[in-house]
Structure 1
Amino acid sequence: MRTLRFVELAEDGRTLILAPDVPQAIDNGERFALSIDERLRAAARGDVSRLGQIEIDVGADLPPREIQSRIRAGESAEQVAAASGMRLERIERYAYPVLQERSRMVERASTARVRLRESQTALPLAEFIAERLAVLGAAESRWDACRSGPNWEIRLAWRAGHRSGTTRWEYEVATRSVTPLDAETAEFAEGTRLVRVVNEEGGPAGSGPFEHDTSPLSVPPVPGKGGEDRRYRGAPVDVLIGGGAGPIPSNGHEDPEGDARAHDPRARIPSWEDIVFGVRRPG
């Protein structure tokens, strides 16, 4: 039996390149490719019980119900095929309707209301997310849905330059609402890492992730009723002031209570224009 040694990971990230374990002087350049699958991972971990279970699974085709359950839980057809040893074409036959179901759930969840606190009025998820991504300057995003429990999980992966992240939301079909599933998503939703608090003198009240970020922020138009374009003006963005948080209200009309608030000695909640373009001093 010949002994092989590891050379490198192939460009596809799913294949190991191996070579005969011989002195370099007599190495003739012969190379071998070994696909990374669940069996190899289990063997590398020394997980004998898992390896035995995989061998049993490979020996028999997965039932359609099992295939669809795994696809619904978030696996791709390629992942199920690699783990089961079944032909991809056979997996895809049962995976297609479930992938369509996942796509429909993303579409339905996009119109569900974001629920951060019981007393908070929220936007539909798609508009809520678009607002945050606009502040981040994100140019790429990808939605997906999966379910392994009673409720669906909606995922959004985004990229803004060298920054990237994934938000995870629980979608309750009965109430048509979504809530953050983890701390990272909660911080993303609350806006604590997206905006900076501006004090009355026009300077930042504290350091934040955009303190040294000089890249311009672009606020894209959002289609409104009747097809007209509508800018993100007055969408609720949570800003922490003195330990509290609250949405920034605005409806595009003059506020009759504006004069009364102008003399309020308490910290002022900045408007959306203040957050994006900075506070303008009165001329």
Structure 2
Amino acid sequence: MRELRVVGLEPDAKHVVLADPTTGDKFRIPVDDTLRAAARGDLARLGQIQIETTSQLRPREIQARIRGGASVEQVADEAGIPVAKVERFAYPVLLERSRAADMAKKGHPVRPDGPAVETLHEIVTQAFRARGHSLDEAEWDAWRDDEGFWVAQLRWHAGRSTNRAHWRYQPDAHGGTITALDDIAADLVDPDCGRPLRYLTPVYSARDVDDSTEAENAERHAPIALESPAAEEPAPEPVAAEETTVAVTVPDDADASRTSQAPAKDKRGKPALPSWDDVLLGVRSNGRV
């Protein structure tokens, strides 16, 4: 890089005259804001001037886009300038949006019966806990809409889907009020916050219905197998108790009247059985032989 030295000003004082000490060639540059900022070492002013001259967006327009919800990357792509140059003007606006989001979390959601006693953050925490979500993984943000109101956003992931809820925040002396702007936001601040956000209904195709009908008809017309009862085994014949037959010898001269005599009975009225000795000795139950 060649070095030049300042020779002086032109008579109109609108240009600075520079000269090359080696060759003696002279150059001039206009005395403008860029030169003045460079002479002071004001890098912020130099960056702003560069954006104004190389970008279609002025610094105020860049801040207005950021305040309206645009990201630094979006503004940089739109303006055709590096992200670092946009961040220089976006930083104070991003802080403003962060403070607005914190204030919105302390606002009171408006319900049909009036503002809730709990804050938006407290109600959303209960709703997330009831649905099994973690509020620590969610992101809060805020920006100004076209009407000048602050819009608070809560974004979180549930499975493979990204959910977003939006409320309008109006500050006041009591912490501000929160009004839901979409169905998800209304569900989160609803008193019955334990219910799921979406109700899923199974959808059946015509093929599923046909398959179900065929299966039902096949089951209806299928032959019914009757179980044949097991062959009953014949019941075992009762085993009769062994009977002991005692032969009693009766003499031939025994009186016929004696044979027809009724047997003796015991005290209970039952026939008396002869004892074993009577059987061996041939004695009758009445004591006669």
Higher Rg of the two aligned structures = 2
Higher relative contact order (CA 8 A, sep 6+): 1
Q: TM-score range by the shorter chain?
A: 0.3 to 0.5
Could you tell me the TM-score, scaled by structure 1's length? 0.46
